[in-house]
Amino acid sequence: GAFSKSDLNGTYVFSASGTDSEGVPYAMAGTLTANGSGGITSGAIDINDLQETPVANATVNNNGTYNVGADGRGTITIGVPSNPLSGNISFDFVLQDSSHGLITGFDDNYSGSGTIDSQASSPTPTGSYAFSLSGDEVVSSSSLASLATVGNFTVGASNAISGLIDFNINGVSGSG
């Protein structure tokens, strides 16, 4: 391959899910800005871990680092001041190209998988989209309910959103 640190340059969105060090499900999503030479200069992250206080829109410290090998495999370490499990989050990735990659592993606090993608200069979508989500809903501190939903939406003039949704929560279905 012919990858290098310069292939990770600009603002990227990432998301991942899996389990934390205690085997509890989590999901995280965020942005990071890579400087093209191994530094993470900014970003934000949301973390939802069923046993920890959720982290919403936490600022990513400007002292993060990354490496990219010639084959496109690399590591990223970002500092998050309000991360409930540790101050840093590290994950492995592999780039398909400078716009897309797969997150393949984590540090001692998290394991899971996800994606990392270059953020478009205009992040507001337009047009019609379909979606599908599944997972668990927290019913109480010791109880979860299965959740699945599908639907569609259209982003129209002035970013107005319209659409349909079908859902099933623990065997009870509905729509909206």
What's the whole-number mean pLDDT along residues 66-78?
95
Distance, CA of 124 to CA of 143 (rounded, Å) = 36
Q: Which amino acid is at 22?
A: E
Residue 69, pLDDT above cutoff 80: yes
Calpha distance 34→94 (Å, rounded) = 15
DSSP string, 125-164: --EEEEEEEEEEEEEETTEEEEEEEEEEEEE-GGG-EEEE
pLDDT digits (tens, 9 = 90+) for 81-117: 765 555 788 899 999 999 999 998 777 778 899 999 9
Average pLDDT over the chain, rounded to an integer: 87
Angle at 134 between CA 21 and CA 51, to 5 degrees: 30
Whole-prediction pTM: 0.74
